[in-house]
Amino acid sequence: MSLLLRLARQARRRANTVDLYIISYRAKRGIGRMLTRTLYWFLKSRPYRKRAVRYKNHVISAEIADSFAKQMIGLMYRKGIGKNEGMLFPLIVGGKNRAAVIMLNMKFGIDIVWMNEKHMIVDIAKNAKQSSIFGRPYVPKKEAKYVLELKRGTAERMGIRTGERMSF
């Protein structure tokens, strides 16, 4: 069994935020960085499911990060995303919680939208910038079930506000 497959299985078994933070911490140097890049290229070869996320008269084509590994990698190492594209994270680790977004190895800024189980927007972080390992994580003010990451400026352009609903 390959090392990558073993790591993916272990991550699936022990999927919790502590492991995610430790792996992310180690991703800045040495073996951790090599493993996250390998995992990124492995996941890149597998197609992400896509879903249309609607807000008022806008439609966003969102890739779904539906596994622990996909959520750990997120938008790392990508050069950017399109104007009406994003990544949707249905929170699988602990269900509804105040999931922090840590922007390690990001090459561009994003807008982060947190939603509850009814798809109501509970918080927004506009123009979130790349952070170092010791940079501040972006944490919502309320518990959320979904996180949507968008190209920087999209929340402002679409007029996304807390208390409103998205559909997907």
- The domain locations on the chain are 3-158
pLDDT on residue 99: 78
Residues sharing a CB contact under 8 Å with residue 91, sequence separation 6 or more, in sequence order = 97, 99, 144, 145, 146, 147
Condensed to tens digits (0 to 9), the pLDDT of residues 46-71 reads 778 999 999 999 999 999 998 877 88
| pLDDT one-digit tens code per residue, 4-50 | 555 555 555 444 333 444 444 444 456 666 666 676 666 666 778 99
Token representation of residue 20: 């995610």
For the domain made up of 3-158, the CATH class stated in words is mainly beta
- d(CA 121, CA 160) in angstroms, rounded, equals 9
Direct distance between the N- and C-terminal alpha carbons of the chain, in angstroms, rounded to an integer: 37
Q: Which residues contact 90 (CB under 8 A, 6 or more apart)?
A: 64, 65, 66, 145, 146
Question: Which residue is associated with the tokens 């190492």?
Answer: 77
Burial of 69 (0-12, 13-18, 19+ CB in 10 A): buried
Quote the pLDDT of residue 48: 85
